[in-house]
C-alpha cells in the first residue's frame, strides 16, 4: 500500500504557502478543471494531493529573476510559422 502523505485541497494550499508558494484554494480548484496544476488523486468525491507531487509542481513553476519569461503561446506560434502576408 502507498503510504505517501496525502492532503486535501485546503491542506495542499496551506502546505504550499508554508513552503513559500502561496496559492489560493480557488486557484487549485481552477487548475483541477482547466489543467496546469499539480497532479491529484480522487478518492470518491474527495480530491487528494501527494505532498511530493505538490512540491515538484511548485518547483517546476519557479524561475530565477534573471530568466526572461516566455512569450505567450500565440506569439511563439507566430514566430515558428512563416508569415501569411503575401505582398501586404
- pLDDT (tens digit per residue) in 29-51: 999 999 999 999 999 999 999 99
Strand 41-43 versus strand 46-50 pairing type: antiparallel
Round to whole Å and give the CA distance between 20 and 4: 21
**What pLDDT, in 10s, does the model give residues 74-87?**
655 666 656 555 55
Distance of CA 36 to the CA centre of its chain: 4
> Rounded to whole angstroms, how far apart are CA atoms 47 and 50?
10
Q: Is the pTM of this model over 0.85?
A: no
Amino acid at each position: 500500500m502507498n503510504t505517501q502523505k496525502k492532503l486535501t485541497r485546503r491542506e495542499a494550499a496551506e502546505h504550499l504557502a508554508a513552503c513559500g508558494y502561496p496559492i489560493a484554494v480557488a486557484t487549485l480548484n481552477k487548475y483541477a478543471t482547466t489543467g496546469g496544476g499539480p497532479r491529484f488523486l480522487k478518492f470518491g468525491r474527495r480530491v487528494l494531493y501527494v505532498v511530493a507531487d505538490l512540491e515538484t509542481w511548485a518547483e517546476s513553476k519557479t524561475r530565477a529573476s534573471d530568466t526572461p519569461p516566455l512569450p505567450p503561446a500565440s506569439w511563439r506560434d507566430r514566430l515558428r510559422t512563416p508569415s501569411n502576408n503575401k505582398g501586404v
